[in-house]
Structures are given as structure tokens and as C-alpha cells.
Structure 1
Amino acid sequence: MQFQRQQFSLKDVKPRTIDIAGDIIEKIPGFPVIYKPAMDGISLKSWLAGHQEEVNEDLNVHGAILFRGFDVPDRNAFQDVMGAFNEEFLSYKDRSSPRTEVKENLYTSTEHPADQVINMHNELSYSHTWPLRIAFYCSQEPSEKGETPVADVRKVLQRLPEKLVSVFKEKGILYRRLLQKGVGLSWQEVFQTENRTVVEQHCRAYGQEFSWTGNDRLEIRWQRPAVRTHPVTGEEIWFNHGYFFNFGALAPEIRAAFSSSDELPFNTYYGDGSPIEAEYLELIHAAYEEECVYFPWKRKDILLMDNMLVAHGRNSFKGPREINVIMMKPIRQ
């Protein structure tokens, strides 16, 4: 018996489009939402390029996404992955903390001593330019603690007493900084220039009062809102450095090192210059603490956040720790 073999040609194969997004990425609900690869060999950059709408929706709803288990081997690869969003990267000017620029627009996280806790804050909320998106990458996880706690500032606002919120809405916040070498940051470090004229032009452009004092010191003052409306979701948010920069938020041993609050590298007041009550500072701190969520870092983790919806901080730690930062999608107001 003779069998007839059916002739086969690649020309006869009809292309099919298969949506396997749900199969290759596992999404774990929570805060932050966790995205994990369901199989090996997934390019996070390629996946992100095709799923912007989904990622943006999760950021608008939840505020933070943790990408865990993807093959992002180093900080250069991290910067390449973030390029998938095709958003403007933000350079770190108007600085408030020491950092190293690893390469253009790629930074280390704040380089305060390991035994110090960094209070909750939204990046650059005191400034006239801040990132809507901020991403952290774990180059090296510490041996103990060192988490980056996160808190939804919509919920922080809801926890604050109505009377407190009303006062801050009415008066806003007055920020004062004394920029000098050896205590905090110098004006050269903050503004990334050696040119006083450039600094003065910046201050005038953004309505900041400034005065040069002896020993190459610069004092600046400016007002900003305490509560803002999110530009995408339309929700009210607690968005300021009012607690973070306040004298009362400093550790007692640091406060004791200054003979006068006028010598502090930064401080905050109500917008009219009156002091913020200690009771209100305690309530703000408590609201942050109640909303804080901690998770341990794992090497190659990427934490992507809506910087206006979610505040972050840093726990103390032991062992080497390197977290890298990219800021994206600047808002200028």
C-alpha cells in the first residue's frame, strides 16, 4: 500500500496574533502591586513598551508597582528599561540631600549614614519642578533592613484632622534654607553651579527671597502649597516637605547640635511665617507612620511610583546597600 504524503509549504501557514501578556506576567495585587515574570527570558523593556496603558492605570489606582524577578542585571540596564516609557528624565537640581550622579540622570539614593532613618517625603515636593514618576533600582540589597517604606499620600491626607488640613490649605508652607559648606549642602551643590548670578536668576524666576551672608552662605525663603490636586486623577493629595524639613522632625541629638534654629540648614513654617504647632507635626508624622508599608529589597528589584501619590523614606540598615534612582516626567509649576 502506498501512502500519499500531503505537501507542506510555509506559504500555507497563516499568521496568528496571540495575546500572551496575561501568561508571561504575573500580577500580585496589593501595595505596591507586584509584577513578576511567569517564565524565563522575558524582556521587561519590550513588555513595558507594549503595555504603557496598563502600567499607567495601575500607577493611577495603586500609586506603586514593584517589578521583581526580571533580568535587569545592573543600573545601566535599569536606565535602559526606564527608557521604554519615552519620558523626559529629570536632573537632580534644587537638591536637599547628598547623592552621586552615576551617569546622566541616574543617581544613587540619598547618601546619609546607614544608622539614620530618612523621614517620609515626596521627591522635590518643596520645589517648583518635581517628577511625576520616580523609579528605584536595587543594585545591592543590604544584609539587614534598609527598606524603602512607601505611603499613599491620599490616605495620609484622609488621616489628618480637618482643622489641620484647613490651616495648611489656607496658609501654605514657608520654606527656609541656609546653604553653607560643612553644614547640610552648599549653594554650589544645591544649584549645581559656581556662579552666583545663575543662582540669583533662579531665585528671582521662582519668587524666592534670597540673601548672601558672610562665609559664602546663602539664605533662601519661598512659599509652596501643602495640598495639591493630582494632574491625572484629580484627587487631593498631601504633597509637601512641611514635616520633613521642620526642626521638630530632626533627631534630638541633631537638634541639640544647633544653638539656634536660624543656623539650621532647613526649616519650615506656615506660609505667613508663624511656627507650625508641635501637636500638628506629631499628627502628620503619625499619619505617615500609619500608612507606611515596608518590603525587603531584592537585587534587581525595580520600584516604580507615582511621586505625587506615594511618599517614600528609608529605614536604617547594616551592610553595603546601593539603590539607584531615576526621576521622570517633570512637572513645572
Structure 2
Amino acid sequence: MKNILNLIFALFISTTVFSQSNIEKDRKAIKSMSGFYEVSFNYVETFASNNTYEFKPRYESHGSEWVLILEDTPTKIVMQHILVLGKNMVMKHWREDWIYEAPTLLKYEKDNKWIKTKASNDEVKGTWVQKVYQVDDSPRYEGRGTWTHVDGKSRWESETDSPLPRREHSKRNDYNVLKRLNRLYSTETGWMFEQDNQKIIRDNGKDILLVREKGLEEFNKIDEKIFDVAKVWWKEQAPFWKVVRNIWEKIYEQNEVIQFQNTINSKALYDHLFPLAQTSIDNKWGEERINKEVFTIIHTYLKEK
């Protein structure tokens, strides 16, 4: 009996140590995506089931991007992307939160509507949810996957639905859901964000494939000296966007369904928040004033139940 108990205890310790070791490898892989990068964005449509479909021109762009860690706990890592264009133009870009064994995630339906879904214990075990947010910290998509680490390389994959990408949402209305197969993996010079996407027409619960798309976003590390202007800019902007994140966090916690309007009077939410951030800096607003102004603007765009 004593030998059996010792064996059970040894197996428990071994499993616990192995699990902790894996988590640390996962965390290291996620955090390694922070840094200073030259980024290339490349997308091309590849296959359409309807032979009358006219393929759209390939999309190519590039920029310099700083990915910084805002929050780092054993089960949550928050990273903000800051885009630098030219010598002096700086813009808050997308944000990603990584949550270990998150019990829920927001599932995109269509028409800027997300529904909170709960997973089983078996489904969440050992997984990380990547929560991706728009430039104004509104929701974009959330995907669940497991990190693997083989031959010194780290890789994570998930499949999830999202709204149209920013490069197309104001230009197209021939589809309404982007079904993403996302892969993130380390490279010799940084990391790759590879996508195999399906542009879907979703109507009455039925999905029709319009066209498939291949996407490659390559992040190659570069000298951080060119980001000096971005560092100064973010130091001023950070308090404002912390308030924005906190307001959205309460909205995510308190609602099972989130739906908001893309534009009001031809203006998106970020059209208000970006200048408001600078106004708050110029006028030295305190947190209470920022909170009041931001709360009002965000809730104007939300479709309250």
C-alpha cells in the first residue's frame, strides 16, 4: 500500500512539474513576440468555388511595429502594438491578450455581434486564448489553441470567426464573416503570423464560401533606435488608453452579448478616441474626467439591451 501511495505521489509531482514546465515554455514563446520589428503584410485570394468570381488585387503593405508588454502574470500576458510610419507618424495599433485556460471566449456571429461562450474543462485544459482587439480596444476575435515546442521552435494555432479586416471593411460588402485559421510561429529573425482565411457569406445560420485567402504577416527584428519617438508618444498616451481598457473590461465582464455600430455619422469609434486622447494630454485631464468622456463615447456605439 505504501509503495502504491509513493508511486501516486511521484506521478503527481512529475505531472505537476511537467505542466509547470510547459506553461513557462508557453509564456516564453508569447513574450518573445514583444520587441521592435519591421513588418510586412501580404494577402492574396487563392480559390473561389464560383468561376465567375473576380479575384481582388493582392494586398501588400509594410511598417515598423513596436510590441510592448503591458501586463505579465502567470496566466495573463497583455501586449500592445504601436505602429510607426515614416519618421514621426505613430499610431496605436491592435492589442492582444493571452489568457491561460480561459473558461469563456467571445464568438463572432456577424453584423458586429459577439456572443460569450463557455467551454468544458477538457476543452480549456492546457490551452491559451488569444484575444485580439481593434485599435480602439473594441472586440475583434478570440481563438483558443495549444502551444507546441519542437526542435527549438514554438507554434500556436486556432480557428475562429471575425469581422472583415480593416483593409476591406470599408471597401467591400460581398461577404460578412472572415473565418480565420491562424498560425503563429517563431522564425530565425522574429515570428510569422500565417493565415488561411475563408471569406464567408453568413445568412440565416448558413455559410457560403465566397473565396479563400492566404495571409502572411512577417515580423523581423530591427534596431530599436527608430522607435524613440514612439516611446515618447506612448508614455504620454498610456494613461488614457489604460482607462479605455478598463471600461471595455467591465463591458466584457457584464455582458453575454456585445454588439456595436461600426460608424455613427460616418465616424468610427476610433475617430473619436484618437483625438480625445491628445485632448486629454493637452488639457492635463485627470482619470475621472477621462473616464467620464470615454464611457459616454463607447456606450454611444454599443447597442444596449
* TM-score, length-scaled by structure 1: 0.19
Larger radius of gyration: 1
Bigger strand share: 2
- The structure whose residues are more often helix, as a share, is 2
